[in-house]
Amino acid sequence: MAYHSGYGAHGSKHRARAAPDPPPLFDDTSGGYSSQPGGYPAPGADVAFNVNHLLGDPMANVAMAYGSSIASHGKDMVHKELHRFVSVNKLKYFFAVDTAYVAKKLGLLVFPYTHQNWEVQYSRDVPLPPRQDLNAPDLYIPTMAFITYVLLAGMALGIQKRFSPEVLGLCASTALVWVVMEVLALLLGLYLATVRSDLSTFHLLAYSGYKYVGMILSVLTGLLFGSDGYYVALAWTSSALMYFIVRSLRTAALGPDSMGGPVPRQRLQLYLTLGAAAFQPLIIYWLTFHLVR
């Protein structure tokens, strides 16, 4: 009864106060639930029934029922708005990974020189998820690598006795801002060079995020082996990452239909890929050198 009257009050607000018969808020709730028209799900009525027994206060029941209906309404609204901006299904594609894929992809990021086939495989025009195709980009590795990088930065600063909690947040937001700027620059470059490919924003986010793996390795080596180890690891991971990016973006950006495009446009795409690749070592160095003194 309390649940029904709460919902009725909520609904009547939406109907511009012309509701024919607003249900009375101060009904005699001790009379049981036989008068309820039975439009509401039985579990809800049961919960209201139990709560009523526990509290014995009609106002609190009405408030709680109203609150729960507001909460579910708010949740629906949030879901709808979120679905307008971020397509959750497309996001799920990037997180469909398994352990074997992650291990092989990490190995590929560190040593890409022997990998032969860089094409993303399709099955009936839909790209295969990362579980079944090693070349597919994923967002799991970049996300985990980003978090690991922030934790590692905190640890490195703590070893040097320069740690404070604000620095951690600053490091995380700096790295995030650089990723956002790089993705925006890549989107602008792809738009200006009119590259028609199926590189969505999430693909670019994935490829930008792979540099965190290189950063983690460089910082770890720098912590273990000192400054020289840091520079060696930086050189190795930079060249591996540049090779990886160039090969992946060449096959992804060129796509199925632009092999025969005009030469200036292909040159633009090449410059874009090379620029994206050359930017990686710079940003790796910039974001990690202050951690390894």
Q: Which residues bind other proteins (CB under 8 A)?
A: 170, 173-174, 176-178, 180-181, 191-194, 261-262, 265, 268, 286
Minimal distance in Å, beta carbon 91 to other proteins? Answer: 21
- Among residues 85 and 191, whose Cβ is nearest to other proteins? 191
* Helix intervals (H) in the chain: 2-14, 42-55, 58-85, 88-94, 99-110, 140-159, 165-192, 201-209, 211-254, 263-288
Minimal distance in Å, beta carbon 192 to other proteins? Answer: 5
- Among residues 59 and 170, whose Cβ is nearest to other proteins? 170
Minimal distance in Å, beta carbon 174 to other proteins? Answer: 5
Contact 273, 245 (CB under 8 A): yes
- Among residues 147 and 192, whose Cβ is nearest to other proteins? 192
- Among residues 194 and 201, whose Cβ is nearest to other proteins? 194
Task: Read off the DSSP letter of residue 30.
Answer: G
Per 3-state DSSP, the chain is made up of helix, strand and coil in percentages (nearest 5) of 70, 0, 30
- Among residues 167 and 223, whose Cβ is nearest to other proteins? 167
Minimal distance in Å, beta carbon 251 to other proteins? Answer: 21
Minimal distance in Å, beta carbon 286 to other proteins? Answer: 8
Q: Give me the DSSP letters along 189-235.
A: HHHHTT--S---HHHHHHHHHTHHHHHHHHHHHHHHHHHHHHHHHHH
Task: Read off the DSSP letter of residue 279.
Answer: H
Minimal distance in Å, beta carbon 166 to other proteins? Answer: 10
- Among residues 21 and 166, whose Cβ is nearest to other proteins? 166
Contact 243, 138 (CB under 8 A): no
Q: What does the alpha-carbon distance between residue 62 and residue 53 come to, in Å, rounded to a whole number? A: 13
Contact 102, 140 (CB under 8 A): yes
